[in-house]
Amino acid sequence: MFNPAPALPLDDDIFPLCDYITPNETEATALTGVPIANADDARRAAGVLLAKGVGTVIVTLGEAGALLHSATQSVLVPAYHCGRVVETAGAGDGFTGGFAAALARGDDPIAALRFGCALAGISVTRPGTAPSMPTLDEVNRVLNQSASASQAS
């Protein structure tokens, strides 16, 4: 798992070592030269990183969610809107930590993507970086509420 923050160019030999890379839009643009304004642009940038040898690319898209792109799938998970946005600092780190933790406990990559998005969605409703990170119960509650809402519609 490699989070390429801050947005600086990297030597191409690093990319084949990455099972997962998690740039935000700015970082993905710095790594690929592809300006990102939407999910289609993020897919193009992710394709460049796949061609450089990355296994799976996750481009975080702020309030638009996160895109997972690999050789076998491309999935956009929308952001979880959990309340009024107070501060976005730390949301990307929270997303990456949540995504990695979910993978480590055995979740498939799409479930891990949802977990990371839910964690980030909660964190932006609170001030600070570390203090804004939610508990496991809080993240699971958001995921369960979302699943219930999806089943009801």
Mind listing the pLDDT tens digit for each residue in 70-117?
999 999 999 999 999 999 999 999 999 999 999 999 999 999 999 999
Name the pLDDT band for 64 (thresholds 50, 70, 90). Answer: very high
**Annotated active-site positions, please?**
93
For residue 47 the two structure tokens come to 């394709």
pLDDT at 142: 96
pLDDT at 152: 61
Q: Mention every residue, 6+ apart, whose C-beta is less than 8 A from residue 65.
A: 76, 77, 78, 79, 117
Which has the minimum average pLDDT: 28-37, 104-113, 125-134, 143-152? 143-152
pTM of the model: 0.92
Work out the widest C-alpha separation in the chain, in whole angstroms: 48
Name the pLDDT band for 151 (thresholds 50, 70, 90). Answer: low
Give the rounded percent of residues in the chain with a pLDDT score beyond 90: 91
Q: Can you spell out the DSSP letters for 49-111?
A: HHHTT-SEEEEE-GGG-EEEEESS-EEEEPPP--S-----TTHHHHHHHHHHHHHHTT--HHH
**Amino acid, single-letter form, for residue 71:** A
147 vs 95 pLDDT, higher one = 95
| pLDDT over threshold 60, residue 153 | no
Q: Would you call the peptide bond into 6 cis, given omega within 30 degrees of 0 as the criterion?
A: yes
How many Å apart are CA 110 and CA 108, to the nearest integer? Answer: 6
